[in-house]
Structure formats: C-alpha cells, structure tokens
Structure 1
Amino acid sequence: MQLEIFQVDAFSAVPFGGNPAAVIPLEQWLPDDLLQRIAEENNLSETAYFVRNGEVFDLRWFTPAVEVDLCGHATLAAAWVLFEQLGERAEVLRFSTRSGELRVSRAADGRLAMDFPAKQPVAVDMPEGLLAALGLGAARAVYRSDDYVVMIGDASLLDALEPDFVALSAFDVRGIAVTAPGRGFDFVTRWFGPRVGVNEDPVTGSAHTSLAPLWAQQLGKQVLRCEQGGARKGQLSCEVSGNGRVIILGQAALFLQGVLFV
C-alpha cells in the first residue's frame, strides 16, 4: 500500500523553523496499530491523519508513543496541506476530533487561524521535585491544566534549561510548560513532554489553549504575541475573547512531500 505524506514546518514561514509535523491524507481509516507504527517510524512529535467525512474532516494525531486528544501544530499542518497542496476551496475547514470540532480559516494577513477550546489553568502548590527536574531554583507560580505550567520571571533562563527527562516523566500530566514574559514577545515558553514520547516540542499549539488565557489574565491583554522553543523556535499569535475559545494564528512551510510504502 502506498500513502502520500507531507512534512510541514508549522508556526514558521520558512523550512527549518517552527515545529515539524507529518500529514497523511487517507481515503479510509487504517488499523490503529498501523497508524501508531507509522508515527513511530516518522519519529516526529506528531503525525496527523485525516479522512474526509462529508463536509467535515475526521482528524487524529499520534506521537511516536501514543494518540493524543489535541495537537495544534499538526492541525495547522493538516489545514495547510488541504489549502495549499490538495486544493481545498472551503473558506473554513471543519475538523472532527477527540477535542470536539476545530475550525481553521485563512486570516486577512495570509496566516491560518485555528479556533480551539480555551482552558483556564488552576494555581496549585509546586509539586515536589518539579523544580529540580527542570533545573530551576525558583518559580513565580505553578498552574495545572493538561500540563503543569511553571511561570518564571526571567526569560533568559529558558534557553539554558536542561531538564531531567526521566524525572519529568514521573509527573502525572501530559507535559510541563515553562513560561516567562519578555524577549520581544508577550510571553515565551518551552514545553517538555517525555510522558507522551516527546522530550521537547518546539512549538505546542495545544499548550497555548492554556497559556494564552493565563497570560491574558496576567497582562490584561486579549491579543498576545508568543514564541516557543529552545534551539529551534517558532512564533504564533493568540486571541483570547472570553467566549471559551482561543484563536491561534501561525504560518507553515512545506519541507518534504513523498510516498510511504506500508
């Protein structure tokens, strides 16, 4: 069997930036174990698969280790492939997912705008051992949603982080985001997810469904400019309107197009 595959760098205008995702269009669903093995073989943080279902696309995301409930950068990549490579003419793409219906449209400036459900992180006590696992001496606060969100005051500390991924994998959350204000953006972040098979994700769109409402509250702003990543970085914007949704905007660039033989 031959399957078309695209590798797209999401949240970047050019290749070699942002977060790479594999996108594989399907005529019908393949067995779950095969979808997982393909994602493992791709060895990217996410492989996205979609199947057209009338006017909607059923969309699923797999890390090399597990299927996940929500992935932002692979949704952006899938929408970009549909618009730019497969000639989809709909003004708004509707994706049916584990996280409900997600919609992606073209913004006026040419970026893609993803309409995602917002999540409001809850302040919690610092879990024992978390700062040590991250290699941090202190933090301003810690919050919990799908991830632990560790807020620090100095953005310059982010690039130097060298977490203990084995220790981080023991915490019962999807991942750990470390975030700070500044460096030319409203906030900057690094995200670590060894528990789901991704030690570090360069740009995690789904994490911004929690990060954006948190920083909107902290900064008193509805429109936020954001950057995420360590050695490899990507940029995005978030709009928090207070209606329980977050609009996440970004660009994408094609790196690879080919055929899988399975």
Structure 2
Amino acid sequence: MQTLDIYEVEAFGAGLPFRGNPAAVVPLAAFPADAALQAIAAANNLAETAFFTPAGGEGHFGLRWFTPALEVPLCGHATLASAFVIMTILQPHLPAVTFDSHAGLLAVTRAGDVLTLDFPALGRTAVATAPAVVAALGAQPAEAYRSGQFLLLVFDTAAEVAALAPDFKALAKAADFGVIATAPGDAGSGADFVSRFFAPAAGIDEDPVTGSAHCSLTPYWAERLGRKRLEARQISARGGFLTVEDRGSRVTISGRCRLYLEGRIHI
C-alpha cells in the first residue's frame, strides 16, 4: 500500500470558508502512471486535482492538473492552491515558486496572504455564436470570441450572466471545452467585470472560480475599460474574488487561499 499526503485548499475565496474554488493538492516524489493520477482525481471529484513534484533547485516544481475526467493544459486555482501548500505548509520560508507545466514556466509570488499567478495572456478572434450554444445557454450574447481553448461570450449586464441556467448535456455537445460568460460589473459592486465558467465536456458543469479563464478575460476587459489593473468577481454559487492585471503577453491573477482539510490517500 502506498500513502500520499493530500490537501484541499479553497482558492480565490478571499480567505473565507466555503468560498472560492476547492482544489485537491497532492505532493509527489515523482509522477506515477497517468492512469493513477486520473483515478485519484476522479475519486476526489473536485474541479481539479493538482499534482506536483520536485523539479531541481529550491522552489522549482513540476505541476500537472486533472479534472475528474481528463488532464487539462492550464489551471489557475489549483496552481494557486499548490503554491499555497508549498509556501505556507511545506516550505514556508519561500517567497516565490516556479512550476514547469504543459503551459510553460509558471511563477507564483507571495505578499502577505495574497498569492499572485504569472500566466500567459490569451488573444481572441471574433466568431459567430453557434445556434447550439445559444440554445444550450438559453441566452444570446452580445459578442462572441474564440480565445485559446475557450469560447468567450460577452453579455450586456451582470444580471444576464447571473441568470444563465445552461442545459449542460446540450452544452457538452455544443462546446468542445470551456465557455466563459462575462459582463461589466454593476456600479457599486466593487467588480469591474463578472464571469461564470462552464465546462461540461471536461466533466465540470460549472467551475466555481476559474483562474485560467482570466487569461482571456483580463486582456479583453483591460482593453474595453482602458485600465490595466482590474477587480474581477466570478459569480458562481460559491463566488470568487480576483485582482488581475494586463501585462501584455502575460497577465497576473491575484487572490487568497484557505486550507480546508488535509489527510492521506491510501492506494
């Protein structure tokens, strides 16, 4: 029998219990077979399980992310959660960590209890919204873009985004991976923009808070609003709080984490 440590961390929840996006984090000496990683992620049944290994040099790690159904190329909240585990529990003397990943080299820095991701920015191309997507969402966006692996749909008001009640089975067939719905924040809400994220094709009907989606959202809203640094809210049931900044080819995504549980996996 093999025993592995596991931590469940609530990321982008402003440090509050039962807010943000729960991620499982599993430190490893080395990556086992992919089937074992996928089986652990399926058993955890969270949006993502992150696995990291030492990668040579202090503060440098390899990192992979799995949903209950598949491995994903980039995940923000589970990267933030992994950095939190390393910098607050395992190696609290570290002010920063770097991760080798399928998305390239990713850095996370710490300032007090705020962690900041340095992620690649994603451009966008205007597209027509497929009728099947509109039918699955039950609403017509004002604008639609393809941005990396995401479909970025822009609505006129936050209320429209909040009211979306997708047919997830239909959406899984209509959209090959992730659908971002976004709109300007309401006056006085403290949010420059809001979003929700749906990925039923990847085994996640609605993701509570999606760091990687802000690789697309940040450049869009920075250009539209004429400001580089913005406050973002993901208006899922759990809710998420992010501060983002457009830095050209990169974006920074900042938030807080909270340890929810820790334990051991026996396999």
TM-score of the pair, normalised by structure 2: 0.94
**Per-residue CA shift, 1:105-154, capped at 9, x if unaligned?**
013x5310110000012111111221221111x32100111111110011
Q: Which runs of 5+ in 2 are unaligned?
A: none
SS in 2 for 1:85: helix
Aligned: 1:110 with 2:116:
no
Q: Aligned-pair distance for 1:173?
A: 3.3
Q: Aligned-pair distance for 1:174?
A: 1.8
**Take 1:229 and 1:87, find their aligned partners in 2: how far apart are those partners?**
33
Amino acid of the structure 2 residue aligned with 1:169: A
Q: 1:258 aligns with which of 257, 263, 267?
A: 263
Q: Give the aligned partner of residue 3 of structure 2.
A: 2
Q: 2:230 aligns with which of 224, 241, 245?
A: 224
**Per-residue CA shift, 1:20-54, capped at 9, x if unaligned?**
00000001111110110000000000000000011
User: Which aligned runs of 4 or more in structure 1 are off by greater than 6 angstroms?
Assistant: none
Q: Which runs of 5+ in 1 are unaligned?
A: none
Aligned residues: 259
Q: Give the aligned partner of residue 91 of structure 2.
A: 87
**Take 1:251 and 1:181, find their aligned partners in 2: how far apart are those partners?**
23
Q: 1:44 aligns with which of 19, 37, 46?
A: 46
Amino acid of the structure 2 residue aligned with 1:8: V
Q: Aligned-pair distance for 1:156?
A: 1.1
Amino acid of the structure 1 residue aligned with 2:108: V
Residues 150 and 176 of structure 1 are in contact (CA less than 8 Å); yes or no, is this contact kept in structure 2? yes
SS in 1 for 2:163: coil
Residues 158 and 230 of structure 1 are in contact (CA less than 8 Å); yes or no, is this contact kept in structure 2? no
Alignment of 1:135-146 (within 5 A): 135-136=138-139, 138-145=140-147, 146=149
Q: Give the aligned partner of residue 179 of structure 1.
A: 182
Residues 209 and 236 of structure 2 are in contact (CA less than 8 Å); yes or no, is this contact kept in structure 1? no
Amino acid of the structure 1 residue aligned with 2:56: G
State the superposition RMSD in angstroms: 1.1
Aligned sequence identity (%): 46
**Per-residue CA shift, 1:205-247, capped at 9, x if unaligned?**
00000011011111111001001132110100111022x0000
Q: 1:191 aligns with which of 197, 200, 206?
A: 197
